Amino acid sequence: MHDPVSSPASAPAAPAAAPSPTDLVLHQASNRLEVTFSDGRTFSLTCEFLRVHSPSAEVRGHGPGEGTLQVGKREVTITDIEPVGTYAVKLVFSDGHDTGIFSWALLYDYGLNQDTMWARYLQRLDAAKGSR
């Protein structure tokens, strides 16, 4: 079961000329957000991954080294997706977090780098003796 949500999104750390989104689908049963881009790539990102990598100041901080490790987010879901202009979406999470703006370029970058990002997150979590 899934709820289709179509709208366009973009952000830092991603290539300036990221492809535009062509489809955005929230799969509630698997807690995944699937984003398809104009270059034909489709990325499936878990709600947990998106929550712990939120581009919000709460997660990233306001400067280098100020980020906060997110713990206990294994069961988090996305409860709403709100368009932000034509360049991004705001994801509302079941734990109340709703301040991250996920640009299309950021989601593309996350799709390309999710394996490395996830491994790094798990290492940080383990080092902090935290749990998902």
Locate the domains of the chain by residue range: 3-127
Contact 53, 39 (CB under 8 A): no
Angstrom CA distances, 90 to 48, 104, 122, stand at 15, 11, 25
Four-way CATH pick for 3-127: 3.40.640.10, 3.40.50.10490, 3.30.2020.30, 3.30.499.10: 3.30.2020.30
pLDDT number for residue 1: 39
Quick: pLDDT tens for 55-113. Answer: 999 898 887 878 899 999 999 999 999 999 999 999 999 999 999 999 999 999 999 99
Whether pTM > 0.75 for this model: the answer is: yes
User: How far from the centroid of its chain's Cα atoms is residue 113's Cα?
Assistant: 12
Report how far residue 127's alpha carbon sits from residue 24's, in angstroms, rounded to the nearest whole number: 34
- 18 bridge partner residues: none
